[in-house]
Structure 1
Amino acid sequence: MEGIKHRRVEVNGIKMHIAEKGEGPVVLFLHGFPELWYSWRHQIVGLSSLGYHAVAPDLRGYGDTEVPPSMSSYTCFHIVGDIIGLIDFLGVEQVFLVAHDWGAIIGWYLCMFRPEKVKAYVCLSVPLLHRDPNIRTVDGLRALYGDDFYISRFQKAGEIEAEMAEVGTEYVLKNVLTTRKPGPPILPKGRFEFNPEMPNTLPSWLTQDDLAYYVSKFRKTGFTGGLNYYRNLNLNWELTAPWSAVKIKLPVKFITGELDVVYTTPYFKDYIHGGGFKQDVPNLQVIVQKGVAHFNNQEAADDINNHIYDFINQV
């Protein structure tokens, strides 16, 4: 962590916090939910030591970046707008993009809307959400996995926040970050329990200090900013109609853990291995990490660093 610099920069009308280290071509890291720039701590140190300028923002609504109050301020256009503003601020034409979970979804949108800004994309956990022109995203997920599917449960403003408040910030973060239960993640109403098999002790890759850092930031911001990304999935479906059936032609390396909650959710494995993903992303490599769960950038940090370096070094 030594030598990582922090600053707040003006992008797209908000103040964004970024963590950065190193000099050279920019590798831009986008985190997921419920995470922060901190999720990339191992990659920032690793890639900066190999001749790259590693940059990891807190995305809109997270950490030390501004948290706009309006739910409608979290569409894919807003968040990709923030990222374009950051790339422009950094003074480069292109970046190597690395993203995980919700960051990965934003990464796909960035590759869709402004492919000239991305040299290559290392995508962790969440494949391209192929747009079905006949059904809105949340409606489709609810039809597949039911009303208690976590994305269905995240839709109503305030409802899941109240359940999170009952168990407390630390419990929520520990519960989600330690999950190794195959998907689809189901959240019955009443008590926040994303991971019913939560261990008593933290895994080796997540120290008490790591957890304390996340807790300190989410106690300040709450979870609503991050949840608003989910609440805009149907609106994003409407907004992205012009990109229906678009192909992502950039070089992409997709890496998932075999125990990942997304990978183990029905439909996704078929899409990833059955030809659909390759059809949408012709220049695609797929890596499945044995024994690794959802937070693979933290759990299998060295392996991820090697994959990133090998891939961006080739393109």
Structure 2
Amino acid sequence: MSESYGTTAPDLSGVKHYDVDALGTRIHVAEVGEGPMVLFVHGFPESWYSWRHQLPAVAAAGYRAVAIDVRGYGRSSAPAAVDDYRMVRHVADNVGVVRALGEDTAVIVGHDWGAPIAWSSALLRPDIFTALGLVSVPYNARSDFKPSAAFRMMGGDKEFYIEYFQQPGRAEAEMEVDLPHWLLGMYFSASGDGVRARQASGDSSGGGFGVAPGGKLSDNFVWPEEGSWPHWMAESDFGYYTSEFTRTGMSGGLNRYRNVDRDWEDMAAFDGAAITQPSLFVGGEVDGPTVWGAGSIAKFGETMPNLHKSVILDGIGHWVQQEAAAELNAELLDFLAAL
């Protein structure tokens, strides 16, 4: 299998790894560089490693680039209780990381589930998180519509994938039978390559985000051709992800989804709140959350009044920081320089 990259493999030789006590939670940190702190928060199913292209680029521009394993992932703590993954706990982890590293403030950047974690951190602690970058998932202010009800509507005659993830053990039973196969299908299907492969086969289903009665999420996945890899992922990259999830299992990541209604209740005081810090949004043209979030993007003038830029990258799918590393790096460095 090929180890080639569509983009140059990043030099991670300068990245330091250690665990910190983040207000009582063990959080694993990958850090490189010196200067103002930029904190990167990943999504599902990923790790600090998803920011491998951004860490050295941001450090080279004069910043302290820090990526974490979110609680439940990698080498960070993985509490057993589902409600230990509610949003306020994630915000506390981010505050704890900034303090543990001896900083007073940080720019925070999040992708996928990391985006709501990042914007919630900015809402709850604007004194610490002074600027915000969102990748893939646009800011959507809390409304009076309960998330579980919204997801039921999105699913139609199928279960929307977030509904499918709600019952502890159910999605794990699908994923962990053959975890490498499931992960590869997930990564490829949600990427721009997967969207194009589906289109080339004449499949107009729109992707594998709905689960038919009695079915599995992976029923609608597509996989790369045997012996090949997406241009943005080498075999060694995939090996890192599979080794991490084989060791930890999937429950820690899935438990984030199982708190959407708790978060809605916890964040009631921030209903309709705008993000007032300088902000950036970068999405992919064929990324599901970006496409579904078109209405939220259209409201950025109200919900993120200090928006620096909103960028949609042509042909890019969900894994923006990997599929379009150079483009995202350029937008991040332009944003950071403007601060």
Q: TM class by shorter-chain length?
A: over 0.9
Q: Report deviation, 1:12.
A: 2.2
One-letter amino acid of the counterpart of residue 298, structure 1: Q
- The reply on whether 1:198 has 2:208 as its aligned counterpart is no
Aligned to 1:40: 51
CA contact 1:42–1:301 (8 Å) conserved in 2? yes
Partners of 1:271 and 1:28 in 2: how far apart? 24
The alpha carbon displacement at 1:145 in A equals 2.4
Whether the 8 Å contact between 2:115 and 2:134 is mirrored in structure 1 is: yes
Deviates more, 1:194-203 or 1:84-93: 194-203
Task: Give the one of 56, 60, 67 matched to 1:56.
Answer: 67
Q: CA deviation at 1:228?
A: 0.5
Counterpart check, 1:143 vs 2:153: yes
1:197 deviates by: 2.5
Cα deviation, 1:94-135, whole Å, max 9, x if unaligned, reads: 1111110001010110111011212221110111233221x3
Matches within 5 A, 1:169-180: 169-178=179-188, 179-180=190-191
**For residues 251 and 32 of structure 1, what CA distance do their matches in structure 2 show?**
22
1:302 and 2:303 are equivalent in the alignment: no
Q: Which runs of 5+ in 1 are unaligned?
A: none
**Contact 1:175 1:194 (C-alpha < 8 Å) held by counterparts:** no
Partner in structure 1 of residue 202 of structure 2: none
Paired AA for residue 116 in structure 1: D
Amino acid at match of 1:6: H
What is the root-mean-square deviation of aligned Cα atoms in Å?
A: 1.5
* Percent of residue pairs bearing the same amino acid type: 37
- Determine the structure 1 residue equivalent to 2:295: 270
Aligned equivalent of 1:17: 28
**Counterpart among 299, 304, 308 of residue 281 in structure 1:** 304
Measure the CA separation in 1 of the matches of 2:143 and 2:216.
Answer: 32
Distance 1:194 1:255 in 2: 29
Kept after mapping to 1: 8 A contact 2:208/2:217: no
Counterpart contact for 1:74–1:228, Cα < 8 Å: yes
CA distance in 2, matches of 1:136, 1:269: 19
If the length of structure 1 is used for normalisation, what is the TM-score? 0.94
Which residues in structure 2 correspond to 1:227-238 (within 5 Å)? 227-238=254-265
The one-character-per-residue Cα deviations of 1:179-236 (angstroms, maximum 9, x if unpaired) are 2445682233433417523222321110110000000000011111110000000100
Which residue pairs with 1:243 in the alignment? 270
Contact 1:22 1:51 in 2 (8 A): yes
Alignment of 1:31 with 2:55, yes or no, is: no
Contact 1:183 1:262 in 2 (8 A): no
Number of positions where the alignment pairs a residue of Structure 1 with one of Structure 2: 309
Aligned partner of 2:93 in structure 1 is 82
Instruction: State the shift of 1:250 in Å.
Output: 0.7
Aligned-partner Cα distance in 2 for 1:39–1:251? 24
TM-score by length of 2: 0.88
Give me the whole-angstrom Cα distance separating, in 1, the residues matched to 2:304 and 2:142: 13
Cα distance in 2, alignment partners of residues 211 and 233 from structure 1: 29
